[in-house]
């Protein structure tokens, strides 16, 4: 049963592939030293897609609120995010279904990035953790309210990785802490809406799906 649960779903694979492809594209197109691009980010693609208050609100480049969620500050940033995405994303996708997960992941990324831009007007944001922490919020809400659902179960090692993932984010500065917190809250709100009278059929339909 655990192997079936841990096998990533279609949308989780697509999101992961998108993150990997944009990282490769950033490396290929350049915009910095190879070592810098590999370890700490930068590059033309990152500059084109990262989100900031000035680029989004002043220049009107709203698409950055979505593209920023597919860009990373180096290979380690990408690796740790992909591990968390495969761990949490496929469980939320199995629980909510492909379309709902795709929709909530990306809407959550946009909302999280937008709120962050207003709070940190002098900074810029990239990273799949925007959508991942939205997924974590959704997961946390349903794992607490539907503990018997097998697709939400994680083992001790996986739980320890998630704890480490959250703690490492807390060491990367106030901006990172806040974007993770915002994403988690957005995910929790989604979970609450999905169990409300208006949106309750979302969770019920997904639970009845094969």
Q: How confident is the model at residue 134 (pLDDT cuts 50, 70, 90)?
A: very high
Range 91-115 average pLDDT: 93
Range 96-113 average pLDDT: 94
Cβ-count burial 167-197 (b if 16+ within 10 Å, e if not): eebeeeeeebebbbbbbbbbbbbbbeebbee
- pLDDT recorded at residue 207: 47
- pLDDT recorded at residue 116: 94
- pLDDT recorded at residue 209: 47
- Give the pTM: 0.86
Cβ-count burial 3-21 (b if 16+ within 10 Å, e if not): eeeeebbebbbebbeebee
**Counting every residue, how long is the chain?**
210
Q: Which residues pair with 124 in a beta bridge?
A: 52
Range 84-102 average pLDDT: 91
Range 67-78 average pLDDT: 92
- pLDDT recorded at residue 195: 67
Is the pLDDT assigned to residue 147 strictly greater than 70?
no
Percentage of residues in the chain having pLDDT higher than 90: 58
Q: Determine the Cα–Cα distance for residues 138 and 134; give it in Å rounded to an integer.
A: 6
Is the pLDDT assigned to residue 41 strictly greater than 50?
yes
Residue where the block lists tokens 């199995």: 94
Instruction: Convert the pLDDT of each residue in 168-187 to its tens digit.
Output: 888 888 989 999 999 999 99
CATH of the domain at 188: 1.20.1540.10
Domain housing 109: 2-208
Number of structural domains found in the chain: 1
- pLDDT recorded at residue 25: 93
């Amino acid at each position: 049963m655990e192997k079936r649960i841990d096998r990533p779903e279609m949308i989780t694979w697509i999101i992961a592939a998108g993150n990997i492809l944009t990282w490769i594209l950033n490396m290929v197109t350049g915009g910095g030293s190879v070592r810098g691009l590999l370890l700490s980010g930068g590059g033309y693609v990152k500059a084109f897609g990262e989100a900031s208050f000035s680029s989004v609100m002043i220049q009107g480049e709203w698409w950055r609120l979505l593209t920023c969620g597919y860009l990373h500050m180096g290979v380690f940033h990408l690796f740790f995010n992909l591990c968390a995405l495969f761990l949490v994303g496929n469980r939320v996708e199995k629980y909510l279904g492909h379309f709902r997960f795709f929709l909530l992941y990306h809407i959550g990324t946009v909302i999280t990035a937008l709120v962050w831009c207003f709070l940190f007007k002098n900074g810029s944001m990239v990273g799949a953790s925007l959508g991942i922490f939205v997924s974590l919020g959704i997961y946390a809400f349903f794992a607490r309210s539907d503990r018997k659902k097998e697709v939400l179960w994680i083992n001790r090692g996986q739980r320890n990785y998630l704890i480490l993932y959250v703690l490492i984010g807390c060491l990367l500065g106030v901006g990172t802490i806040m974007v993770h917190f915002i994403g988690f809250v957005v995910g929790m709100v989604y979970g609450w809406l999905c169990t409300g009278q208006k949106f309750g059929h979302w969770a019920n339909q997904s639970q009845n799906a094969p």
